[in-house]
Each structure stands twice: as structure tokens, then as C-alpha cells.
Amino acid sequence: MLHKQPKQAPNSCRSRGKTLADKSLVIACGALANEIFAIKAMNDWDHFDVQCLDAKLHNRPSLIAPKLEEVINARGKDYKHILIGYADCGSSGDIDALVNSDARLERLKGPHCFSFFLGEVEFETLSDETPGTFWLTDFLVRHFDSMVIKNLGLDTHPELRDVYFGNYTDLIYLSQRHDESLINAAVVCAEQLGLSFRHIHTGFGTFEQALTIKEIA
């Protein structure tokens, strides 16, 4: 379990006098960037640096581990601890294989980033109860058109909706912030896909605890 550090004086997200050897590096999915920086600012943390990868890698999960390795090779030599801000994310174990190859590496727990916010037990329970669930977060609601509609070609071929989503029954929106405009947008997302809508407000869930990175020796 990661141990929480004492709060530091307010600062930007970069170092305030700490050397890189005193800090950790978080390499995360771009879909989590807003939450990571919000949590970091809220706690006045300065014990880790952040680099985010393109969120569109979620559409090509086989590329996630190679991209992570590129960043580790380029920046990782200066850090004694590196937190991978991904779950398995459809990589078929490639991310775990990378993490297991280097004792400095650790990844967030869970099969998907949705479990970071909802909690692993509740995520598994809901997944079992409604296996045909399409999940959204604040980021995915904001970028639904580019990440889902256009990426799947539904903007030009709407008839493909049933091909992609014929086995889905529900859309569950896990919100990190209280924002009525995002809730309304998520309802529209569900209507576009022909799915039943449900909203669960999670806040940052267990994500803040995961970012409370252990002290570097």
C-alpha cells in the first residue's frame, strides 16, 4: 500500500527544490490528466512529476505498453519509483509484463480505469449485474464525439451502431465532478447509442489514495 506524504506548501505541478531522485514519476493515460492534476493541486503535493500519454491509445491498447516503455527509457532513469497510471486497459497483460520487468514500476490496480473511481468491488458487482454496460467518465463524456462516434465511423455510417453496440444494454456515467451540463450530455450519449442511462457520482473515488505515493528512500 502506498503511504501518504505530509502536505507541502502550495505550488505548481513541478518541483519546488526537490531533486528528481527525491520524487516519483507518474506516467498516465491522458483521460486521467484532469483528475491527476486536480488531486495534486488540492493536496499541494510536490512529490511526483506527471507525464500523460494520448488518451486515444485506449482505442489501440496493444500500443500502450510500448509507449510506456518509450517514456520510461527516456525519463525513467532519474526516478527511483514510477507509477503507471493505467489499469490493464485491454492490453492483454502487456502492461503488467512491463511493470514486472522493473522493480521501480508499479501500476494502478484494477482491470479498467472505471474501477479507480467506483472501487474494484462495486465495479465488479455492477459489471456482473449488467454485463452489457458501456461506461463513461467526465473525460469520455466531453470527448464522446471524437473518442466514440467519429472513431467508430458512426458519424458517416450510423447503421454500424447496432454492430458495435448490439450487445450493450446500459450506459453508466461515473461523474467525477458535479456538473449538470455533463449529466445532460451523458444522457444524449446514451440516446445516441440506444442504451438505458444511469448516473453514479463517484468523485475521485479511490484514485486519490492510489496517488499517495510511497516515500522514496
Residue-wise pLDDT tens digits, 35-44: 999 999 999 9
Task: Please report which confidence band the pLDDT of residue 159 belongs to, taking 50, 70 and 90 as the band edges.
Answer: very high
Residue 22 has pLDDT above 80, yes or no: no
Region 183-201 average pLDDT = 98
On whether both 124 and 184 belong to a single domain, the answer is: yes
User: In DSSP terms, which residues pair with 136 in a beta bridge?
Assistant: 173
Residues 193 and 190: their CA atoms lie apart, in Å, by: 5
Element (H, E) at 120: helix 120-129
* Per-residue pLDDT reduced to its tens digit, 101-147: 999 999 988 888 898 899 889 999 999 999 999 999 999 999 999 99
For residue 55, give the CATH number of its domain: 3.40.50
Structural domain includes residue 6? no
pLDDT of res. 209:
83
On whether both 24 and 48 belong to a single domain, the answer is: yes
Closest CA to 49 of 216, 206, 205: 216
On whether both 145 and 186 belong to a single domain, the answer is: yes
On whether both 141 and 195 belong to a single domain, the answer is: yes
Structural domain includes residue 217? no
On whether both 93 and 37 belong to a single domain, the answer is: yes
Structural domain includes residue 3? no
Structural domain includes residue 49? yes
pLDDT of res. 19:
59
On whether both 136 and 183 belong to a single domain, the answer is: yes
pLDDT of res. 18:
58
How many structural domains are present in the chain?
2
Residue 42: domain span: 20-111+206-210
> What share of the chain has pLDDT > 90, as a percent?
71
Asked if 171 contacts 198 with a C-beta cutoff of 8 angstroms, the reply is yes
Structural domain includes residue 11? no
On whether both 103 and 46 belong to a single domain, the answer is: yes
pLDDT of res. 14:
41
> What share of the chain has pLDDT > 70, as a percent?
88
Residue 206 has pLDDT above 90, yes or no: no
On whether both 92 and 134 belong to a single domain, the answer is: no
Residue 215 has pLDDT above 50, yes or no: no
Closest CA to 47 of 77, 9, 5, 1: 5
Number of other CB atoms surrounding residue 166 within 10 Å? 10
Residues 160 and 36: their CA atoms lie apart, in Å, by: 35
Structural domain includes residue 5? no
* Per-residue pLDDT reduced to its tens digit, 29-82: 999 999 999 999 999 998 899 999 999 998 899 999 999 999 999 999 999 899
On whether both 158 and 187 belong to a single domain, the answer is: yes
What separation in angstroms does the CA of 179 have from each of 42, 86, 184?
19, 25, 9
On whether both 193 and 156 belong to a single domain, the answer is: yes
Residue 5 has pLDDT above 70, yes or no: no
Of the listed ranges 69-78, 84-93, 94-103, 188-197, the least confidently predicted one is 84-93
Task: Please report which confidence band the pLDDT of residue 214 belongs to, taking 50, 70 and 90 as the band edges.
Answer: low
On whether both 26 and 104 belong to a single domain, the answer is: yes
Structural domain includes residue 173? yes
pLDDT of res. 216:
38
Structural domain includes residue 8? no
On whether both 128 and 57 belong to a single domain, the answer is: no
Task: Please report which confidence band the pLDDT of residue 205 belongs to, taking 50, 70 and 90 as the band edges.
Answer: confident
